[in-house]
Structure formats: C-alpha cells, structure tokens
Amino acid sequence: MGLSKTIWTNPTEYLRNQHPENPVLFFAPQAVQAVARKFLQGFPGLVTYAVKSNPGEEVIENLIAAGIKGFDCASPFEIDLIRRLAPDAAIHYHNPVRSRAEIAHAVKREVKSWSVDSHSELAKLIEMVPVEGCEISVRFKLPVGGAAYNFGAKFGATAEDAVDLLKTVAAAGYIPSLTFHPGTQCTDPAAWASYIREAAVIAANAGVKIKRLNVGGGFPNHRVEGVLPQLTDTFMTIGDVAKEAFGADVPALVCEPGRALCGDAFTLASKVKAVRDDSHVFLNDGLYGSLFELGQIGIIDRIEVISDEGTKREGETLPRICFGPTCDSVDRLPGDVPFPSDIAEGDYVIWHGMGAYSTVTNSRFNGFGELGLVTVLNQAV
Ligand SMILES: *Cc1c(COP(=O)(O)O)cnc(C)c1O
C-alpha cells in the first residue's frame, strides 16, 4: 500500500473519476494534525502515540509535524520504525510481556521506559535493563466499565500485586511509575478518575513516590453519528483528580492515545459488489479486511453512500445484512448496517473515522485485501 502522489479534493472527486475496484482509504493530513494539537493543548502532561493503532509513516510524520514527541511501542519493529522517523523521540516500551531477545533489542535502541505487570517479567527486566535513567511503570487493572472492551482481561496486575511490584522497582533503583489502560473507546471520563484514585492508593501503600502516572490510551473516537467524544472534559477530569488524589506528591502525567489520534485521519470507501435479492449487501471489504474491528466493537454508523457517478444516495435508512467479499461465513458485519434504501450495485459506501485498527489488521485472506491509499484535502463527501 503506497501513498498516491496526487492530492484529491475529497473522496467523491476521486471515486467518480477513478472508479476503484479495491477498497480505498482516504488520508487527510489536516485531520491528524488537528487532533494532535487538541491533545497537546488540552492534555495536562506528555502526549505519546500508541503506534499499534496505525503505524503508517504518513500518520507518524504528520504527528511529529504537529509536535508529538513520544511514542508507545509494543515490538522491536515499532521501536525501529520510530527510531528511524523520530530519532530523538521518547519511546515507551509498554507491552508488559517481552522475550529476552526483544528486551535486548530495546536496550540496544536505548529505550528508557518500560511497563510491567508481573513478578516474573520484572525479574527479566531487572536482569537485563541498565538502571541508569530507566523508568519502570507498574501496570495495574481495575474492574471498571466504560470502554468498548476490557483491556484488563489480558494485562494489568491487581492493586495488591502492584504494591509489591512498585516496591521492587524502587528498591532495584529504577524510576518508579504507574500506568493503566482503561480499555479502548472509553467514553466515560469516570473510568480514568477511578484508576487515578487507585494509583494514589497503590503508591501510598507501597510507600513509593511515583515520578509519573501514565493514564493510558482509550480516548474515544467519533464512531456513532451524533455522539461527539468529550475529550476536553476527560482531560480536565484527569488533571483535577490527579491533583486531588496525590496532593503534594502529584506525579507528572502521560497519556498514550492510539485511536483518538488517528481515527479521523482516514475515511474508507468500499464498493458494493452486489445487493442480493434486495436484502443482503456484499462489499469488497469486510471483517478480514479493513473493517476487522467492527466485529469487536460494533458498527461505525458514520456512513454515507454514493453512486459510481458521485451522487449521494438519499433514501431513508434501511438496515441490511452486510457481508464482506471472502467465502467465509464469519465475514459478516455485526448486526444490521444502516444503509440508505436505494443502495445499489456499483455504489461506494463511505465510512468515516476509519484510521484506527484498520489498515494494520487488514489481511489478504482469500486473495482480497488490496487497499488503495489516497491523500485528500478534506473528507467531506
Ligand atoms: C493499544 C494500547 C494503547 C492505545 O489504545 P487506544 O484505545 O487505541 O487509545 C495505549 N497503550 C497501550 C499499552 C496499549 O496496549
């Protein structure tokens, strides 16, 4: 997937001129820069980008241009990518389980911030990571809701374990910090408040003054028509609750958004291959392609449909069953998808807010999955 050289005005202009057979993602550099500036101005601490959500170089370069100076990486590949594109950036290696070869690679690449959620993984770090100037953040979890799915199911120590881990980190001479992730697409600011209060309790019980508190990613992106994410409220809650919970010992704050930074950077156009018997819509993209995440966290209903000539379909909304192009029956979007009633073969379905967990989880299963990537000035249809 290479970025096209031509810059088009908007998706419609491209579609009615080029009539692409493969799905196309439209990249708007202004969109990613605007949201980066919103985070930099509003978040009361360091903003780092979770590379996994979209590691496209065009995304990372525009984040750097907007002023992002830190990156959350989960693998040697991501670490090397950031070292190449932003040699001086801070890299936080926040995948709490790593092989020894991965640890050695990151040490060689001068990674100075690590996260951990278990005694056995901490023992590996103590054995292999030089103490000098290195920070280890203990990742903990809480049974709180508010997110699209719960990250605590895989990672995060219990509060009790976190106390012991934090003591061990400090005793070994590393800079002690705490971190959590409230779960992706978290629309409830109260989730951050609960975690921050618990962090203060963990630090107090460990008798350790933490240097930084990383409040994770999970900041929501605009997925549902009419429900705009309240980023500014969340930033204020985070700053206020940290001051209140830690008092004089308030740590520096860090966040690591993925989805919220890149979600609106891309709009997807998928083509209608068939409308079968007026009930099933078959697209050229689906759960094995760039719509993979819809199977996990539900439909994005910011959908518009245009004809091959670029005219907007205005029929009343009629939910349909929607299939992807592969021969696997799993390749069906969840629930019913709200398409206009006059959707027809050859039309393009435009999905807004498709920058996160889309290009990067796209597969070539069944010979599909070739994506076009086109730069546009704006994403309005
Ligand atoms: C995935 C991940 C993120 C980014 O999550 P979003 O929901 O995309 O903001 C941040 N931090 C860690 C440790 C992650 O695993």
Residues with Cβ within 6 A of ligand 1?
50, 52-53, 72, 94, 181, 184, 216-219, 256-260, 356
d(CA 129, CA 47): 24
Domain boundaries, the chain: 3-27+264-376, 29-262
Among 181, 254, 259, 361, residue to substitute to test ligand 1 (most atoms within 8 Å of Cβ): 181
CB-based contacts of 143, cutoff 8 Å, min separation 6: 152
Q: Could you tell me the fold of the domain covering 3-27+264-376?
A: Lyase, Ornithine Decarboxylase; Chain A, domain 1 (2.40.37)
Query: What is the CATH number assigned to the segment(s) 29-262?
Result: 3.20.20.10
Q: At what angle do helices 76-85 and 100-108 cross, to 10 degrees?
A: 10
Listed in sequence order, the residues at least 6 apart from 367 whose beta carbon sits closer than 8 Å to its beta carbon are none
Task: Tell me the C-alpha distance between 165 and 159, whole Å.
Answer: 10
pLDDT in tens, the chain (381 residues): 666 668 999 999 999 999 999 999 999 999 999 999 999 999 999 999 999 999 999 999 999 999 999 999 999 999 999 999 999 999 999 999 999 999 999 999 999 999 999 999 999 999 999 999 999 999 999 986 666 656 667 899 999 999 999 999 999 999 999 999 999 999 999 999 999 999 999 999 999 999 999 999 999 999 888 889 999 999 999 999 999 999 999 999 999 999 999 999 999 999 999 999 989 999 999 999 999 999 998 888 899 999 999 999 999 999 999 999 999 999 999 999 999 999 999 999 999 999 999 999 999 999 999 999 999 999 988
Q: How far is the CA of 218 from the centre of ligand 1 (A)?
A: 6
| pTM of this structure | 0.96
* Closest to 333 in 3D by CA, of 359, 300, 294, 284: 294
**Ligand 1, closest atom to CA 151?**
15
Q: Which residue has the CA at smallest separation from atom 15 of ligand 1?
A: 95
